[in-house]
Amino acid sequence: MKKLVVALLVAAFAFPAAAFGADTIKIGFNLPITGDVPKIGEMSKDAAEMLKDQINKAGGLEVGGKKYQLDFVYVDNESKVDSAVNAAHKIIEGEQALAMVGPQASGRAIPAGEVANNQKTLMISPWGTNPDITKDRPFVFRACFLDSFQGPTAAKFASEELKAKTTAVLYAVDQDYSKGIAEFYKEAFEKLHGAGSVTAFETFTTKDVDFSAQLTKIIATKPDVLFIPQYYNEVPLIVKQARDLGFKGAFLGSDSWGSAELMNLCGDYCKGQFFVTHFAAAGAQGATKKFIEDFNARFNQIPDDLAALTWDATNMVLASIKKMGAFSGDLAKDRVALRDAMATMKDFDGITGKMSFDGKSGDPSKCAVIVKIDDKGQFTFFKSVCP
C-alpha cells in the first residue's frame, strides 16, 4: 500500500517518511514558534492541533472512499526569512510534502512562496496580505484579503467614521507587510482628501523600541488619526509613547493588531481604538461561535484572527484533498491535482467568511471586518466592508 504524505507548511523536524504509516496524511506548518512574535505561532499551532484531533477522533479524513488519520508537524521559522525558506525546503523536499500551510506573515510568506511555486507544491498563507505572495505563482494561495484592499478600507474608515481630514503613518520600512499597507493607505487617503492630507509618513526599523523622534515629528503636524500597521509587540510601545508625548488623536490599526497578546501588552492605552481585521470574537454566531467556545475550553483563551485563519486555511486544504479524489501514488501528479482542486474552490464557508478562487489567482474575494477594542479590552465587531 502506498504511503501518502501531505505537508502543510510548518514542521520543526524532518522525519523520514518511514516514520508514518500507510493510512496517514501528514501535514506540516511553517510557523514563528520562537522569535519576535511567538504568539502567532502558538495560536496557529493550537488551532491546527484542535482541528487535527477533532478529525482523527471522528475516524479521520475520507479521501477516495478511504479514511486517513492526520499527522501534523510544525517547523519553527523563528520569524526570519532564511528560516522560513529552510522550513519550506524541509517540508517539500525532506518530507516529500503534498502541500504546505504558512508562513503567516508576509515577509516570510513571500520567499517561502517562491520555493513552493518552483517545486510545484501547493502553499496557502492564512494571514499573509502582501500582493507579492501570490503574484505570478499558480501554486500559492492565501485565506485572507490583500493589502491593496485593506489599506483603502482603513483610509475610508478613517475618513468616514473617524471624520479624519488629516492622518499620519508610522511603519517599519524593513517589513514587507508594513511598508506595503502603509503605501496603500497613504495613496487612498490622499485620493480622498488631496495632497498634503497625509501630514507625516515616518519610518523605523524592526527591533527599534524608541519612537520619540518620529512621534515628535508626527505630533507637530497635528494629524487627526495616526495609522500604525504594525505587529502586536510594536503597537503598545508606539501608542504609549505617543500618548506620553501628548498625542490626542485616534489610533487606527491593521490586521496585525489582531493577536490575543495585544491587550496584555497595551492595556488601557489601546481601548477605544479601531483596526481592520478578519473576524471579531466578541458576539460571534454559528460555526464561528462554536470554534471560539471549543478553543477557549481547550486552551483557556479566546482565539485571535491567526487561530481563525489557520483553521480556515487548513480546512481549505483538507477540502481540496477530498475534492481531488483518490491519490494516484505519484507525488508530482498528486501535487498538481491538489493545486487544481484548490484553484477551482467555490463558496468555501469558513469561520472568517466565504471564499472562492477563480482558477487564475490564489487571492480569494473576501470581506474585511472593522473591530473596536471596547472598555473591557475585547475585540468587538463594528462593521463589515466588502470588495
Asked if the model's pLDDT at residue 171 lies above 80, the reply is: yes
Asked if the model's pLDDT at residue 8 lies above 50, the reply is: no
How far is the C-alpha of 11 from the C-alpha of 29, rounded, in Å?
5
Asked if residues 370 and 386 have their Cβ atoms less than 8 Å apart, the reply is: no
C-alpha cell at 149: 484592499
Of residues 237, 131, 139, 135, the one with CA closest to residue 176: 131
CATH of 147-277, one of 3.20.20.140, 3.40.50.2300, 3.40.640.10, 2.130.10.10: 3.40.50.2300
Domains 17-145+286-366 and 147-277 share a fold: yes
pLDDT tens digit sequence for 316-344: 999 999 999 899 988 899 999 999 999 99
Query: Tell me, what's the pLDDT at 14?
Result: 37
Q: What is the DSSP letter of 169?
A: E
How far is the C-alpha of 259 from the C-alpha of 89, rounded, in Å?
28
Asked if residues 73 and 25 have their Cβ atoms less than 8 Å apart, the reply is: no
How far is the C-alpha of 52 from the C-alpha of 311, rounded, in Å?
10
Query: Tell me, what's the pLDDT at 3?
Result: 42
Confidence of residue 24 (pLDDT cuts 50, 70, 90): confident
Q: Compute, in degrees rounded to 10, the torsion defined by CA atoms 159, 162, 165, 169.
A: -90
* 170 phi, psi to nearest 5 deg: -130, 120
pLDDT tens digit sequence for 241-281: 999 999 999 999 999 999 889 999 999 999 999 999 998 88
Prior bond to 103 cis, omega within 30?
A: yes
Boundaries of every domain in the chain: 17-145+286-366, 147-277
Q: Edge-to-edge, what's the strand order for the sheet holding 379-385?
A: 198-204, 167-172, 225-228, 250-253, 274-277, 368-373, 379-385
* Structural domain 17-145+286-366, CATH architecture: 3-Layer(aba) Sandwich (3.40)
Q: Could you tell me which residues are beta bridge partners of residue 30?
A: 75
pLDDT tens digit sequence for 121-151: 999 999 999 999 999 999 999 999 999 999 9
